[in-house]
Structure 1
């Protein structure tokens, strides 16, 4: 019997008994040795914080184990009586896999008990966790990874509300600068991490890519609290990670061939889409910074045309001409 099944059985037995359950009864019903039972009990107490108590009793009467809270297992990740459906088990597998990829160092100590419970939960599926994992693969696309120590310092300062001194490499200008910032929010976007912070040198809110932070020191000074409404406007309001300026609308016409894929995509929650008679698709998305939008448009090559605004269309034309000139 797998350990996960034994853990469920131990809790089920203790939940249904009104009186303390003697050790011998548990060993007989579980069909395990005392050493195995002892290990399972330690897992329940240490990893699941199960309120299981040993009562010594008097003259060997009322002696045994009790579950002090009979409703304890209700809603617990690892041990409800009915446990999980097969679809929930596979959803937990995805959480387990994603948690191991999402970030180096972030809340590792706090997440580990959760990962342990998920691993035990997976044992309830018809397939073993190892079989399931061997058939599910997550490929990182254009992911950038930085030193875990820098990430952890940034994460701790953000949560604990401390200022940071960072050494930042601005790729567009090929420059390094030391700044003191007050972290406001960590953002995970397209497999990469960004820090929204108040820059004390610029006296304004700025967006920093964590893969460009080459050093980060936590300072004792408390972080400055920026206006939350400003941060909400700065990030996520329009298309892409960069936003905060004047909102404009891009109107893009995709070929009938490409429309079959684009019509199923969500570029922005407020996007508008309409089909033309020739099968092409017109997609409208709001943007305030064209940098990321340009990259997404260019990757479609001849399968997309920028209809509006004129300045975006002109910039795409310019970049395509420069690209073509390299092959002439």
Structure 2
């Protein structure tokens, strides 16, 4: 399962607003008393949106966020003037830790397979390394083993129109299989690289995540994509919930609410009980009930076990039973005494002083 498209759209809108807010203060500082309508036109937003941005700026400022630390402005009718900029006009100064963190993050971006605008990332890296100078004691190197090589091999097979034999890990079933595929195209979806291909095993078009291809061999035969094969529409994301998929209802705690943002949920009910008879006392005010479709119950079982006590299965009953049985089996394994061949002994020659 992948993150829903609405999240991607929201994240993009937030990023656009952040860029606009960062540009807004120096813009207004250079134009004291500008009319809001004129500023909105220059910035390419509506007057309502600009007023909302100005209201947000009012609660932004330096750490501490007391009245004397926040950005302040004065309004004269439909005109606005920045009266205190909270230091936003001063050049950014990075501490050694901040510079190191930024370098590591940019290095990771540069190494991400299929990342667009890698030249811009490399230029930014060079500028930060030059500015940091001796603040960063040692050069920073980040590597994602095999990712770039794997991506280049996949891209080459697509360009040469060659079939591939791959070993692929399917997370939903927690298994690896060998397949022969006929590549169609490479694409990036939500920050991950995929190869779209005709899978001879499934006899259908499938998407294979590059980082889940454990091994690949380019075959000495051309890719044979059948005429009926059609590329998949990934505009709304990879995972598309359909009514035929299992519906899972979970009771989640506060720290697990990110599930509702990361996965497409059919229902989110804060502090409510599901229809059909869960005791209202079993659902605390800070707990949420969420329902979502999953590819299969085996994936859901592994996901829920990894969440610990923050997630409880409400339905279906068979999933709750599977989770309970596996959790009990794990507890029994920890409670069992060490076998005859597994005793812990002190190293020879040891002793107490």
TM-score, normalised relative to structure 2: 0.47
Which structure has the higher relative contact order (CA within 8 Å, separation 6+)?
Answer: 2
